[in-house]
Amino acid sequence: MHENKIETNQSLWYPPGGILIWMIVLVEVLTFCLGIGSLVYDKSKDLAVFTDMQSHLNRSFAFWNTVFLLTSGFCIATAVNYRERNNFKFFTIFLFVSIVFGFAFLFLKFYEFREKWSLGFNLETNQFFSYYWLLTGFHYLHVVVGVIILFIIYVSRKTISFENLEAGAVFWHMCDLIWLILYPALYLIK
Question: How far apart are the C-alpha atoms of 38 and 103, rounded to whole Å?
Answer: 30
Whether the Cβ atoms of residue 106 and residue 144 lie closer than 8 Å to each other: yes
The three-class DSSP label of residue 86 is coil
Query: Residue 139's pLDDT band (boundaries 50, 70, 90)?
Result: very high
What pLDDT shows up at residue 21? 81
Residue 112 has pLDDT above 60, yes or no: yes
Can you tell me the mean pLDDT for 150-157?
95
Residue 88 has pLDDT above 90, yes or no: yes
CA 35 to chain centre: 16
The residues pairing with 14 across neighbouring beta strands, listed in sequence order, are 11
CB-based contacts of 148: which residues, under 8 Å, 6+ apart?
A: none
The three-class DSSP label of residue 11 is strand
> What pTM, to 2 d.p., does this model score?
0.86
Residue 17 has pLDDT above 90, yes or no: no
Question: How far apart are the C-alpha atoms of 137 and 16, rounded to whole Å?
Answer: 28
Please give the DSSP secondary-structure letter assigned to residue 57: S
What pLDDT shows up at residue 6? 59
Whether the Cβ atoms of residue 129 and residue 53 lie closer than 8 Å to each other: yes
Question: How far apart are the C-alpha atoms of 102 and 108, rounded to whole Å?
Answer: 10
Rg of the chain taking only CA atoms, in angstroms: 19
